[in-house]
């Protein structure tokens, strides 16, 4: 499992992510960042972190040029594209699939969307998923079973995970500030997922989140039941 921070493609923010202990990050993009794709690439390449994924700006289908620019950035950095769920709904996937993107990509599950909806609108049609744990927590009371189901049944379609704490009405929280059992989620991810986990907490909380996930990984590696649990 690769653990990533999250920051905009700006020199100071990239340097801060490296100082927090991250080797890779997901790039948080606003439209202004994409006025010069080449400048974004230069900033990342000059930094001490690599971009493993890029998050599309908060744009609608009416602003497709920014989706194409995100794709160009991802190709240049060999990164995965996350379709942001704020303004793009899963019912938009047929039109989004006509964009002819070059980079690998996945649709972030929208806040409160159920596994049933994801299965029929994203996964069964063969699309990729960027699994946001907090968004799924808001939708499913038995969120741990839902996470395990998605990872075991559709793991080959899940490009990365977003992880933060959440209440039923607010996500983006520091670990321990919400109601998610972060330890249980980490154990599930360790057992069933080999990809990238992006810590989607605020910058000041990212170092602590990285330490928490690393501690849980160490506990899992030392567990005598690890080989059994992984089967």
CATH code, domain carrying 154: 3.20.20.150
Mean pLDDT, contiguous 10-residue spans, the chain (231 residues):
96 98 98 97 98 96 95 98 89 91 96 95 95 98 98 96 97 97 95 96 96 86 42 25
Compute the distance between CA of residue 101 and CA of residue 159 in angstroms, rounded to an integer. Answer: 15
Joined together, the tokens standing for residue 8 give 């905009």
Compute the distance between CA of residue 135 and CA of residue 50 in angstroms, rounded to an integer. Answer: 26
pLDDT at residue number 189 = 95
Dihedral sign from CA coordinates of 100, 122, 78, 164: positive
Looking at the 3D structure of the chain, how many domains does it have? 1
Segments forming the whole domain that contains residue 119:
2-229
pLDDT at residue number 220 = 67
Q: How far is CA 229 from the centre of its chain?
A: 25
pLDDT at residue number 231 = 25
pLDDT at residue number 66 = 97
pLDDT at residue number 218 = 79
pLDDT at residue number 140 = 97
SS (H, E, C) 193-211: CCCEEEECCCHHHHHHHHH
């Amino acid at each position: 499992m690769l653990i990533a921070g999250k920051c905009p493609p700006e020199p100071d923010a990239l340097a801060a992510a490296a100082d927090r202990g991250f080797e890779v990050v997901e790039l948080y993009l606003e439209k202004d960042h994409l006025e010069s794709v080449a400048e974004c690439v230069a900033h990342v390449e000059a930094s001490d972190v690599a971009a493993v994924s890029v998050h599309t700006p908060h744009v609608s289908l009416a602003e497709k040029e920014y989706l194409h620019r995100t794709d160009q950035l991802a190709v240049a950095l060999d990164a995965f594209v996350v379709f942001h769920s704020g303004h793009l709904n899963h019912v938009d996937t047929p039109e989004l699939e006509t964009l002819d993107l070059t980079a690998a990509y996945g649709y972030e599950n929208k806040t409160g969307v159920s596994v049933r909806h994801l299965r029929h609108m994203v996964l069964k049609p063969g699309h990729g998923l960027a699994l946001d744990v907090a968004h799924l927590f808001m939708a499913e009371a038995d969120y741990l079973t839902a996470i395990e189901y998605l990872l075991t049944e559709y793991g080959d379609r899940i490009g990365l995970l977003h992880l933060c704490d959440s209440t039923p009405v607010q996500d983006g929280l520091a670990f321990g500030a919400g109601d998610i059992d972060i330890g249980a989620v980490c154990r599930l991810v360790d057992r069933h997922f080999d990809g990238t986990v992006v810590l989607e907490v605020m910058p000041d909380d990212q170092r602590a989140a990285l330490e928490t996930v690393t501690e849980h990984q160490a506990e899992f590696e030392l567990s005598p039941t690890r080989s059994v649990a992984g089967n």
